[in-house]
Amino acid sequence: MILVTGATGNVGRHVLAQLREAGAADVRALVRPGATHPHDGVDVATGRLDHPDGLDAALTGVGTVFLVWPFLTTDGAPAVLKAIGRHAQRVVYLSSIGVGGPEEPADPIFTLHADMERLIEASGLPHTVLRSDTLASNTLGWAEQIRGTGVVRGPLTAATAVVDPRDIAAVAVRALTDEAHVGATHLLTGPEVISRPEQVEAIGAAIGRELRFEEVPVPDARARMLADGRPPALVDALLSAAENRSTSTLVTSTVEDVTGSPPHSFARWARDHREAFR
């Protein structure tokens, strides 16, 4: 049995779908109480990672866990890993490509994932780590601005090799179903480095509209986000990319090496998701 956490998220839902396509019979989705789950034929367990005492029922009979950690701190992670260790034999963890890099100490997201990796290592659970670059699906947060004004306003973060969640899921499926990946750390990127303005341009091409990116200084963005009521820790995490990260030149062949298929370009992702921006 494979348990998929984050089952309704941008990566987890593709993991579920691709496991079913690959013929995996015993798949279970962990969903929060009240959440909807679109995949037929998948066992569903209700539970929350921030309530680890209630996870034993979801983990009963599970051998492998796809773990997405959705919080800004590792508080509670040791208890979750302990619960997993009572049942499962392997963990596949979705991490960040910034772990181990020079910007890790100054970046809350990189630091969080580094801490999670250390906790998983210390747990003794056999594991595989998927260090992902920026998710293409992050741009779904621009949809309202694109539909309303055609202008995306925000901080200008450094360009990276943005990766399609479907490609992360494809690698995850191999790691979840093949013990040969135990002990591996896979660095997952898209096929090319692309900036935020170039992403906006690609979305415009996909929907047949002229769009543009308008840079907002980080202090102005922080003031607006705080005024909207977002917690300061979340604001710091969201803006860390603009404040601390430099342009990346890293492009890996890992997706193709593991799956046999090249990664999707951001332009392809934009075309496949164009209805979200119309």
Handedness of CA 16, 5, 268, 175 (dihedral sign): negative
Give the CATH number of the domain where residue 105 resides. 3.40.50.720
Q: What is the pLDDT of residues 6-60, one digit of tens each?
A: 999 999 999 999 999 998 879 999 998 877 766 667 889 999 999 998 899 999 9
Residues 6+ apart with CB under 8 A from 31: 7, 8, 37, 44, 45, 46, 47
At residue 38, the pLDDT reads 62
At residue 227, the pLDDT reads 92
Q: Please state, in angstroms and rounded to a whole number, the distance separating the CA atoms of residues 184 and 233.
A: 31
Q: Is residue 196 part of a domain?
A: no
At residue 39, the pLDDT reads 66
Quick one: angle between helices 77-85 and 108-123, nearest 10?
30
Quick one: angle between helices 165-177 and 12-21, nearest 10?
60
| pLDDT, tens digit only, all 278 positions of the chain | 999 999 999 999 999 999 999 988 799 999 988 777 666 678 899 999 999 988 999 999 999 999 999 999 999 999 999 999 999 999 999 999 999 988 888 899 999 999 999 999 999 999 999 999 999 999 999 999 999 999 999 999 999 999 999 999 999 999 999 999 999 999 999 999 999 999 999 999 999 999 999 999 999 999 988 998 989 988 888 888 888 888 889 999 999 999 999 999 999 999 999 999 99
Question: Count of residues for the chain?
Answer: 278
Phi, psi of 200 (to 5 degrees): -60, -40
Q: Is residue 82 part of a domain?
A: yes
Q: Is residue 221 part of a domain?
A: no
Q: Are 226 and 142 in contact (CB under 8 A)?
A: no
Q: Are 207 and 278 in contact (CB under 8 A)?
A: yes
User: Would you put residue 41 in left (φ > 0), alpha (ψ -120 to 50) or beta?
Assistant: left
Q: Is residue 269 part of a domain?
A: no
Q: Are 66 and 12 in contact (CB under 8 A)?
A: yes
CB burial string 105-124: b at 16+ within 10 A, e below: eebbbbbbbbebbebbeebe
Residue with token string 């890992």: 254
Tokens of 45: 């367990």
Which of 134, 146, 76 lies closest to 250 in space, CA to CA? 134
How many separate domains does the chain show? Answer: 1
Q: Are 169 and 14 in contact (CB under 8 A)?
A: yes
Q: Please state, in angstroms and rounded to a whole number, the distance separating the CA atoms of residues 190 and 165.
A: 10
Instruction: Write out the residue range of the structural domain in which residue 103 sits.
Output: 2-136+162-191+248-264
Q: Is residue 13 part of a domain?
A: yes
Q: Is residue 126 part of a domain?
A: yes
Q: Is residue 84 part of a domain?
A: yes
Q: Please state, in angstroms and rounded to a whole number, the distance separating the CA atoms of residues 266 and 250.
A: 16
Q: Please state, in angstroms and rounded to a whole number, the distance separating the CA atoms of residues 101 and 120.
A: 19
Q: Is residue 272 part of a domain?
A: no
Q: Are 64 and 176 in contact (CB under 8 A)?
A: yes
